[in-house]
């Protein structure tokens, strides 16, 4: 792993830790909220695979990024069930995505990967 990737991963870990430490540990979570928090965090983990050489991992990353970035009722529901405010969480997600994938920024705006490039399984 190059030092560039190490720095990228360190930044990513800091942002995830910031997200977890400030929001997750702020108040006691119920087992139900911890379950839904795990769903939210899995999307972050999946989103990290965009640069993978394996197509299935890249496709999962594209789906995760689009789920995290685009407004959807599913995202809002998961945030609420995890004990988070969806609007605030969306702002934090957008910040994380801009740092995680600066090459997807266009004039300061984050442009999620094209879902049309997903390979279809037969």
Phi, psi of 119, rounded to the nearest 5 degrees:
-80, 135
Answer with the residue of higher pLDDT: 53 or 13.
Answer: 53
84, pLDDT greater than 50: yes
Question: Average pLDDT over the chain, rounded to whole?
Answer: 76
Average pLDDT of the segment spanning 11-39: 68
pLDDT digits (tens, 9 = 90+) for 32-75: 999 999 999 999 899 999 888 999 999 999 889 889 888 789 99
99, pLDDT greater than 80: yes
Average pLDDT of the segment spanning 8-26: 51
The least confident of 31-45, 59-73, 75-89, 102-116 is 102-116
Q: What is the DSSP letter of 25?
A: T
Average pLDDT of the segment spanning 107-122: 60
78, 40 Cβ separation under 8 angstroms? yes
What is d(CA 8, CA 27) in angstroms, rounded to the nearest whole number? 29
Phi, psi of 16, rounded to the nearest 5 degrees:
-65, -45
DSSP letters for 64-115: HHHHHHS--HHHHHHHHHTT--HHHHHHHHHHHHHHH-GGGEETTEE-PPPG
**How is residue 88 written in tokens?**
């605030």
Which sign does the torsion angle of CA 91, 97, 102, 105 carry? negative
Residue 39: what pLDDT? 94
């Amino acid at each position: 792993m190059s030092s560039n990737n190490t720095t990228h991963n360190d930044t990513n870990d800091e942002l995830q830790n910031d997200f977890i430490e400030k929001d997750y540990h702020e108040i006691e979570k119920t087992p139900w909220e911890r379950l839904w928090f795990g769903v939210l965090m899995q999307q972050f983990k999946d989103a990290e695979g965009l640069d993978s050489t394996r197509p299935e991992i890249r496709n999962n990353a594209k789906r995760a990024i689009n789920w995290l970035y685009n407004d959807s009722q599913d995202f809002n529901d998961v945030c609420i069930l995890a004990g988070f405010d969806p609007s605030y969480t969306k702002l934090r997600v957008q910040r994380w995505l801009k740092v995680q994938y600066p090459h997807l920024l266009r004039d300061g705006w984050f442009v999620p990967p094209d879902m049309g490039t997903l390979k279809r399984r037969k």
